[in-house]
Amino acid sequence: MKVIPDTGEVVRGQTTKVTVRVFNGGNVDMKNFKVNLSLPEGWQATPKGTTTFDRLAYNQTGIVEYDVTVPADAAGFHPYRESILSATVQYEAFGTIAKSTVTPKNAFAVLPEFSVSLSPNATVLNTLKTDEPISVKVGVRNYTPGAATATVSLSVPEGWVVEPQQAAVNFSKKGETQSASFTVKASAGTVKGKYEVKAKAVRGSAVSEQDVQVIEYPHIGRTYLVTPSVLTIQAFDLKVREGLKVGYVSSGFDNIDQYLRQVGVNVTNLDANEVQFGDLSKYDTIVLGIRAYGFRTDLLASSGRMLDYVKNGGNLVVQYHKPEDNWKPELAPYPIKIGTPLIQWRVTDENSKVTVLAPDHPLFNTPNKITDADWANWVQDRSAYNPSEWSPEYVQLISNGDPGEKEFTGTFLTAKYGEGTYTYSSIAWYRQIPSLVPGSFRLFANMLSLE
């Protein structure tokens, strides 16, 4: 037995066909079939023929079709609720009346007329430069059953300015996507805090203010995640060294480079050719993404070039590695050994106390003055895979540990090497920066600015 909607994606006011198929694959005759379609209150299900049939012999199929209309006030899809559509068949076999109920193989979802997404969906605003506009791209996907036109607009905090005021998007069929571009400018008096920019697409009386993400895998079928169409903006003061040029060697495990660009840092992603053969001296700072030595063979082969870059005056920032990431103590200019077992060398309490061990070091003073407030409102972890041993040439910058456990002093290490600076950090930047933690941006900007 199966219940098969013509489409698993419907919008309010739409009518679609639903087919119930009953198949007798056994050698016993079955009789007195009654088919019933179950839907929420307010929905209409009109059968296109009879919903009963007398008998199904071996290898026979009974089919019942319905026209199903979604009411204007239908509740939207939620992935953790039971299916709103099911079919029940009552039949008689061996002199006994039995019932069987089935739901569609994939989700039957009431979706907004348009899926509305914002890019970026999270960003930062430098309160020292509120005159710099934020570019926002709104993506719109049509879920109505045919051609449609919608008007897209943004809602911004009071006093902020958005241009243009609205934009029209046109679709010729369901499933098409279009986009509209806007610029948002904060008011001059914007203070530190969290702000929201909301997007909507309007067609007549239908207002769509949600983003629909399709999730589909063989083991779970097709379902949807529906979330508000919101851009979160975290405002705080941030200074970045003027003219700073940064090279980023990504491992694919973090997206910090994207957020650095959002705050105005000139970031270039370094490919294998650039890492192995390029002129590294044109970058003031080079950042290695988390676990980069484990997933960039070009970087591992160029470890000597990286140390020469530092020796000749460059600023190299290395984020955390595991021992299995091809990490060897000699990859650093002075040996650094990662602690094992790894589970014992991390700080999981994001609110744990941080003690600054070198308060006069430039990393805590230039260009941003770091205070206790910069260690507040962190998420999930402070650090991971901390070093257990390191050479005395390194300055130990902080001490930190989970409550009641030992403190680590190798979480944040920096040293002069030749004419340049080498910094190794096990701090969980890859969690903090995408979560828009102000202190993580300010600390990272200072780390990039070391000379």
* pLDDT value at residue 28: 86
d(CA 301, CA 290) in angstroms, rounded, equals: 17
Domain that holds residue 119: 114-235
Q: Which two tokens stand for residue 93?
A: 């076999």
Q: Which of 138, 118, 140 is nearest to 203 (CA)?
A: 140
Same domain, 49 and 158: no
Last residue of a domain, one of 202, 235, 268: 235
* pLDDT value at residue 29: 84
* pLDDT value at residue 181: 99
Q: Which residues of the chain have pLDDT under 50?
A: none
Q: Which two tokens stand for residue 83?
A: 């299916």
How many angstroms from the chain centroid is the CA of residue 287?
Answer: 22
- CATH number of the domain at 442, please: 3.40.50.880
Task: Judge whether 450 and 421 are in contact, CB under 8 Å.
Answer: yes
Q: Which of 14, 13, 10, 210 is nearest to 104 (CA)?
A: 10
Task: Judge whether 384 and 344 are in contact, CB under 8 Å.
Answer: no
Task: Please state the domain count of the chain.
Answer: 3
d(CA 424, CA 269) in angstroms, rounded, equals: 20
Same domain, 89 and 118: no
Same domain, 320 and 413: yes
Same domain, 328 and 341: yes
Same domain, 88 and 158: no
Same domain, 292 and 366: yes
- CATH number of the domain at 85, please: 2.60.40.10
Same domain, 245 and 218: no
* pLDDT value at residue 439: 98
Q: Which two tokens stand for residue 353?
A: 């106390």
Q: What is the dihedral of CA 68, 71, 74, 80, to 10 degrees?
A: 0
* Amino acid at position 412, single letter: F
Same domain, 221 and 254: no
* Amino acid at position 27, single letter: N
Last residue of a domain, one of 235, 265, 294: 235
Task: Judge whether 43 and 70 are in contact, CB under 8 Å.
Answer: yes
Same domain, 152 and 294: no
Same domain, 150 and 226: yes
Same domain, 137 and 51: no
